[in-house]
Amino acid sequence: MRTEREPAGEPVPGEGPGLEELLSQVALGHEQAFNRVYDLLAGPVFGLARRVVRDRAQAEEVAQEVLVEVWRTASRYDRTRGSALSWVMTMAHRRSVDRVRSAQASTAREERVSRMSGEVPYDEVSETVTTRLEGERVRRCLGGLTDLQRQAVTLAYYGGYSYPEVAGLLKVPLGTVKTRMRDGLVRLRDCMGVER
């Protein structure tokens, strides 16, 4: 029920001058186009980094790296290989995951793992997800998964855990986790009507 404009939260794929078009302009060095790309993507990129790395300052660093990377490599985006959103979010997620995994040796990581046991980030997702349409849909679709599917997917994606770690957290065999990640995502995909 926010009333202020919050452009950062609402990139709707397929509406307005799409990200794809904006990126092709960014590739030509248009800073104005990049400004709009920032409007569309800074929210999801920062939010995702926050969720995965937790630490606010580090999440800002990750978000900055990713957004500058979008500027730098916009010409490498190839729309035949997927949406621009997916291209950027893949980058953002990978960077975030790299950040937490490189800190893996630290005890903070261990503590984090034990703290997370039994607790599923799904609830946090429901909290932060506002009334945005996309968020609503994601939440509804997550709700349609089995517990194990949902935990496997959200621990990996929002928690940044590898599948062996997820198996450890959930105390289920590796093979089961792999399968749940896949069929969970497949079910999400079908629920969200993602184009294949």
> Which amino acid belongs to residue 79?
R
Q: How far is the CB of 115 from another protein (least distance, A)?
A: 19
Nearer to another protein, 80 or 107 (CB): 80
Q: How far is the CB of 118 from another protein (least distance, A)?
A: 19
Query: Which residues lie below 8 Å from residue 16, measured CB to CB, with a gap of 6+?
Result: none
Q: How far is the CB of 184 from another protein (least distance, A)?
A: 7
CA distance 91 to 19: 15
Contact 116, 158 (CB under 8 A): no
Nearer to another protein, 171 or 196 (CB): 196
Q: How far is the CB of 94 from another protein (least distance, A)?
A: 6
Nearer to another protein, 72 or 119 (CB): 72
Nearer to another protein, 108 or 192 (CB): 192
Burial of 87 per CB tally in 10 Å (0-12, 13-18, 19+): buried
Give the CA dihedral 133, 27, 35, 78, nearest 10 degrees: 10
